[in-house]
Amino acid sequence: MPHVGARAILRTAQREGYGVPCLLAGNMEMLIGAVRAAEAIGAPLILAYNANVTPQIPIQAMVHAMVHAARATHVPVATILDHGTDLATVAQAIQLGISTVMYDGSHLPFTENVRTTQEVVRTAHAAGVEVEGELGTIGGSSIELGYVNSGSEFTDPALAAEFVSQTGIDILAVSFGNAHGVYSGAPQLDLGRVRSIAAGVDVPLAMHGGSGLDRTSYAAVIAAGISKINYYSAMGIAVTRMLRAYLATAPDNELIFHQVIDFTIKQFYTETSRLLTILGCKDRFSSKNALS
Ligand SMILES: [Zn+2]
């Protein structure tokens, strides 16, 4: 199946009532675990590179590997630059063959966010690449992820409609009580706001900070109009916990690094399979059908 932009995957998900995870491909273990899981259960997938989270892994190496993996699968896989902060990085990701770029101008005043996002859309669309923009600030409590808590400002539905029509973006990331990193307590999500935003725009909506919700909340978030769910912290913590237990049981000198790599891939595979099933992605694609 060809490497695709995220919009077609998300439009199909919206129509059929499921959510699609956007997973970090921060290194090869994460990438291989995620793609194998999607293939094994017939799910679509969005793979992300994020320079805030894995600055030690060069964008060139990871994007090439992501694009190669997307082209080699029989399920639809999109690739995205997560939280591109400037035109130069966006241009670099496009040049490396990515199918979608996120440009995050949410910290800027509205008119400035519109202006810079328009510029990204012009550059990306000229290369056949799709764009995710962001309006409203998504808070974050995790310094490790490179996000600072800026005090969330929820997305205004009227401004969201204006933002989408003025910029021509393909996907909109919204703020409605979601936050990057680990939630302290159950998140208070304003789903009425999501419904209002969804009613006023004709593009799929993205939820950043999508890990750490309980199972029923995902169904509610998807029913309200979210189709792209950025998910990392809970998975990163779960895999680390299993890795710690695995290392603790191995006697000295009986474990070599390539075995650790193998174990880690299996953990990302298991966690991804679980998530894809929770979001309703299981058995959506096989080698016999394609995106409609
Ligand atoms: Zn994000």
- Residues around ligand 1, an ion, CB closer than 5 A: 208
SS3 state of residue 242? helix
pLDDT at 276: 98
Neighbours of 142 (CB within 10 A): 18
Distance 140 CA to ligand 1 centre (A): 9
The alpha carbon of 12 is separated from its chain's Cα centroid by a whole number of angstroms, namely 16
Tell me what the mean pLDDT of segment 10-34 comes to. 97
pLDDT band at 48 (very low <50, low <70, confident <90, very high): very high
How far is 282 from 66, CA to CA, in rounded Å? 21
- Sequence length of the chain is 292
Nearest to 52 by CA among 178, 259, 282, 230: 230
Alpha carbons 15 and 97: distance in angstroms, whole number: 28
In Å, how far are 57, 167, 236 from 226, measured between CA atoms? Answer: 30, 20, 23
pLDDT digits 0-9 by tens, 238-254: 999 999 999 999 887 88
Read off the pLDDT of each residue in 102-122 and give the average, rounded to a whole number: 96
Q: What mean pLDDT comes out for the span 119-123?
A: 98
Between residues 145 and 97, the one the model is more confident about: 97
User: Among residues 82, 104, 156, 170, which one is catalytic?
Assistant: 82
- Cα 92 to ligand 1 centre (Å): 19
Q: What is the CA radius of gyration of the chain?
A: 18
| Residues 37, 104 contacting (CB under 8 angstroms) | no
26: CA distance to ligand 1 center in Å?
14
Can 82 be counted among the known catalytic residues?
A: yes
Q: What is the pTM of this model?
A: 0.94
Which residues neighbour 281 within 8 Å (Cβ) at sequence distance 6 or greater?
13, 18, 19, 20, 21, 38, 41, 43, 44, 45
Q: How far apart are CA 97 and CA 209, in angstroms?
A: 26
pLDDT score at 292:
45
- Counting beta carbons within 10 angstroms of the beta carbon of residue 249, is it exposed (0 to 12), middle (13 to 18) or buried (19 or more)? exposed
Q: What local confidence, expressed as pLDDT, does residue 152 receive?
A: 67
pLDDT of amino acid 210: 93
Q: Is 287 helix (H, G, I), strand (E, B) or coil?
A: coil
Give the other-Cβ count within 10 Å of 150's Cβ.
Answer: 12
209 alpha carbon to ligand 1 midpoint, in Å?
Answer: 6
Q: Is the pLDDT of residue 219 over 60?
A: yes
Is residue 150 scored above 60 in pLDDT? Answer: no
Amino acid in position 95: Q
Instruction: At 44, list the tokens.
Output: 């679509």
Residue type present at position 270: T
C-alpha of residue 2 to centroid of ligand 1, in Å: 26
User: Mean pLDDT across the chain, nearest whole number?
Assistant: 93
Q: How far is the CA of 194 from the centre of ligand 1 (A)?
A: 17
pLDDT tier for residue 195 given thresholds of 50, 70 and 90 = very high
Q: Which fold has domain 6-278?
A: TIM Barrel (3.20.20)
The angle formed by the CA atoms of residues 101, 105 and 109, to the nearest 5 degrees, is 160
**The two structure tokens encoding residue 17:** 């009532």
